[in-house]
Structure 1
Amino acid sequence: MDFALSAEQEDLAASERAWLVKHDPIAARRPTIDDGPARVPDIAVQHVAESGLIGLLTAEMGGTHVDLAVLVEEHGRAASAVPLAELALATAELDKLDHPLSALAEANSGGAESIPLVLASVDGAPLAAEIIGTELRISGSTAPATALPDATGFLIAATSSDGTEVLVHVPSGSQGAGVRTLDTLDLTRSWSVLNLDLTVPAQRWTSVPAGTVSYLGDALAFYRKMDALGAAERLVEQTVEYAGQRTQFGQPIGSFQAVKHHCADMALRTEASRASLWAAVVSLDGTDSAGRAAAVSAAAAYAGEATSTVASIALQVHGGIGFTWEHDLHLLTRRIKVDELLNGSVSWHRRRLVDA
């Protein structure tokens, strides 16, 4: 498959990287890192809303998953706390609806609301949903999701007991919807589960076409690993730079063959991950659900392991400095390790490929 980013997509990525460099998320996080889970800065929320990034996949904006992917990669590279993929996917789904919930798409895009997509765990207990007349009874715990304490509501995709796929809007603070924030390795984002046990009125839920839940699951799995790719790319650059500056026995350690091999291995794994993920993102914009599932799981399985290995090698090349609290390496490594496990671990995606 021949694939290349357009000039517009490269400019989009460059523009977002420039904003993230100017408003460095890691520098903003450092003063509060011991105070509790990361929160999404107001300036970042304002930026993604005013730039139109949250509404990128809506019909009005006409963006593609490739467009969103280059942005998610940049946010992963910068270790941003913004749940860009979750917000954009939720907004796109709301925009498609012929239902009063569709009004939330504009509110989400403009920043008046912050409603991310939340799904059940792929390898845990499913959400229990039952349609009772015009109401929907939903209970259970979702998969870990990022930035839930900052959300004004949640868009939940689930399958009911009779096989109907539904989208459910649950406002933050609703009785029977509790946010439980988790302690994780990742210090750059907050991770929480949504514990549900409530009845939802007709105006807050609707049925959606069959295949919507699996599509959204594939999309989130892809974007989790795309985030890890951005962080891994930054680690490669930092490691190569460090190897050229750090001296031992009177010469840069980058001149040693073993270190050269380590850096080459990191670059190879990163670029191979990129290739597999680009193949997957093209499938997200297509209509072949079986091909999409295979492409996403192949990419997630490879990139999940490869980016985690890149992080481990980066730590080895940095040596003692890499273990210090002050160095950014551990923050990117922690982020990658969490990305590796969520929305389908490497082993889960491999099993899915074998069973297909």
Structure 2
Amino acid sequence: MDFSFSQEQNMLQESIERFVQNDYGFDERQKNAHSDLGFSQDHWQTFAELGWLGVPFAESDGGFGGGAVEASLMMEQFGRGLVIEPFLATVVLAGGALKHGASDALKARYLPGVIDGSLHGALAYAEPQARFNLADTCTTAAASANGFVLNGQKAVVLNGPRADFLVISARTSGEQRDRTGISLFVVDAKAAGVTRRDFPTVDAFRASEITLENVSVDADSVVGAVGEGYEILEQVIDEAIVSVGAEAVGCMEKLYKETVEYCKQREQFGQPIGKFQVLQHRMVDMFMEHEQAKSLMFMAAMRMDEGYGPDTKKAVSAFKVQVGKSGKFVGQSAVQLHGGMGMTEELSVGHYFKRLTIIDTLFGNSDYHLKRFGAL
């Protein structure tokens, strides 16, 4: 099996690597994170101009026909730079739902704006009672004369504050935890009956609690077939797991390299602490955890590109378990070896650790995916 990248994949990876090195400093990142918008609109337009926002979409939809491997290469570099622009929320989640299930008319309405950077989206699927069960949906969509009327509440909607449109999961039939009877709808974020409570997350991203009260949508707003949205949602979330896991791999690489450099410079007892054997062992363990996670990243991405099925789901869950385990070890070790300064706001180490901690809980933590792996 050939594991080498194509010329196009190498060019994509190198372009983002150069951007992160030259134009995405930590201080600027912090400044943008604390702005009203929560990220840089100039950077977002740069993403669009360089074609990055169109990579995962089919050429027929105006994209470049990339798959999970390309998305992983991109997100790994975003992780190294601790990028806060909402690529995951708009392109992978909301855009992914449209890519897999939307009609040609819905794609034509929204995907060009996503690709050129003029439209932001959000996937509103999680609910307060659901834990990590995608099927646990209390939000309802009742049929009406012109379409459907939505009522319910969605929790932790990533990029909710900036979203122009929402892709919302709602139950059109069945019981609360049935996999059948879930439908996906595209809703204007400013539609009557949609209210938001915006908040920053601990890792400097932005999210919303969204309440739907008698929100009317027409029948053409359904993504896929009515009552068959669960399969689309599950695939989109698994693609997001591969993407956010790749971001974690980038974070881990940055942390272990920063830690090695710090241990070469920090002196104690008249010599650099990097000469102490016990710390050398710890840094080697950090490297090994990163490499294990990276290997599973490529396995999950290649499985995803081969086709979505039980084997792909197992590979994705295995990757998510490893990311949770490795991210915790690498993050905690980096903070410990840096000492108290490791958790200060001025040093990037603590911010990488916060992001790794949140990634572990996104889309199901290690315990959840270990159980899912065993059940598949």
Same fold (TM over 0.5): yes
CA 1:116 to 1:98, structure 2 compared with 1: closer, same or farther past 3 Å? same
1:141-171 CA-to-partner distances (Å, cap 9, x unmatched) read 3352432212212223555325355332122
CA-to-partner distance for each residue in 1:169-222, whole Å, 9 max, x for gaps? Answer: 1222222222323453212x2233333332322233243466212111211222
Alignment partner of 2:341 out of 312, 315, 321: 321
Mapping for residues 133-172 of structure 1, pairs under 5 Å: 133=144, 134-157=146-169, 160-161=172-173, 163-164=180-181, 166-172=183-189
Q: How many angstroms does 1:256 deviate by?
A: 0.6
Which residue number in structure 1 is paired with residue 251 of structure 2? Answer: 231
- With over 3 angstroms needed to count, the CA separation of the structure-2 counterparts of 1:37 and 1:278, relative to structure 1, is farther
Paired AA for residue 137 in structure 1: V
**Residue 130 (1) aligns with residue 146 (2):** no
In the other structure, the counterpart of 2:177 is: none
- Displacement after TM superposition at 1:25 (Å): 5.5
Instruction: Work out the CA distance in 2 between the residues paired with 1:145 and 1:17.
Output: 28
Partner of 1:30: 30
Tell me the equivalent position of 2:86: 83
AA aligned opposite 1:69: S
Contact 1:144 1:342 in 2 (8 A): no
Picking from 278, 284, 291, the partner of 2:311 is 291
Task: State whether residues 40 and 82 of structure 1, in contact with CA within 8 Å, keep that contact through their aligned partners in structure 2.
Answer: yes
Using the size of structure 2 for normalisation, the TM-score is 0.86
Q: Distance in 2 between matches of 1:260 and 1:52?
A: 41
Match among 243, 254, 260 for residue 274 of structure 2: 254
Distance across 2 between alignment mates of 1:127 and 1:18 = 45
3-state DSSP class of the match of 2:52? Answer: coil
Equivalence for 1:94:
98
Q: CA deviation at 1:2?
A: 5.7
Once the two structures are overlaid, the 10-residue window that deviates more, 332-341 or 11-20, is: 11-20
| Aligned equivalents of 1:16, 1:173: Cα separation in 2 | 33
Query: What is the 5 A alignment of 1:1-356?
Result: 3-24=3-24, 26-31=26-31, 39-60=38-59, 61-89=64-92, 90-95=94-99, 97-103=102-108, 104-120=110-126, 123=132, 125-133=136-144, 134-157=146-169, 160-161=172-173, 163-164=180-181, 166-182=183-199, 184-187=201-204, 189-197=205-213, 198-208=215-225, 211-356=231-376
Pick closer, same or farther for the CA change 1:145–1:71 going to 2, 3 Å.
farther
The one-letter code sitting in structure 2 at the alignment partner of 1:47 is T
- Give distance in 2, aligned partners of 1:237 and 1:320: 18
Q: Give the whole-Å Cα distance in 2 for the aligned partners of 1:193 and 1:351.
A: 28
Structure 1 segments of 4+ aligned residues over 4 angstroms from their partners: 35-38
Maintained 8 Å contact 1:120/1:127: no
Amino acid at match of 2:107: S
- SS of 2:354's partner is helix
- The change in CA–CA distance for 1:118 and 1:5 in structure 2 (over 3 A counts) is farther
Separation in 2, partners of 1:106, 1:183: 28
Letter of the structure 1 residue corresponding to residue 66 of structure 2: G
Match for 2:88: what amino acid? A
Change (3 A) 1:273 1:2: farther
Residue 196 of structure 2: SS of its match in structure 1? strand
Q: Distance in 2 between the 1:317 and 1:335 partners?
A: 18
C-alpha displacement of 1:88 = 2.3
- Mark the CA change 1:25 to 1:201 in structure 2 (over 3 Å): closer, same or farther: farther
Task: Give the 3-state SS of the residue equivalent to 1:142 in structure 2.
Answer: strand
**CA RMSD, 1 decimal:** 2.4
Tell me the matched-pair count. Answer: 354
For the structure 1 residues 226 and 255, does the alpha-carbon distance in structure 2 shift closer, same or farther, using more than 3 Å as the test?
Answer: same
Q: Which moved more, 1:11-20 or 1:109-118?
A: 109-118
Matching residue's letter, 1:56: V
SS of residue matched to 2:197: strand
CA distance in 2 between counterparts of 1:64 and 1:161 reads 33
CA contact (8 A) 2:121 2:166 kept: yes
Superimposed CA distance per residue, residues 289-328 of structure 1 (whole angstroms, 9 cap, x where no aligned partner) = 2112111111101111211210000011111321322111
The answer on whether the counterparts of 2:98 and 2:107 sit within 8 Å (CA) in structure 1 is: yes
Answer with 94-103 or 332-341: which moved more: 94-103
- Quote the Cα distance in structure 2 between the aligned partners of 1:348 and 1:142: 21
- 8 Å Cα contact 2:58/2:65 also seen in 1: yes
- Structure 2 unaligned segments of length 5 or more: list them: 175-179
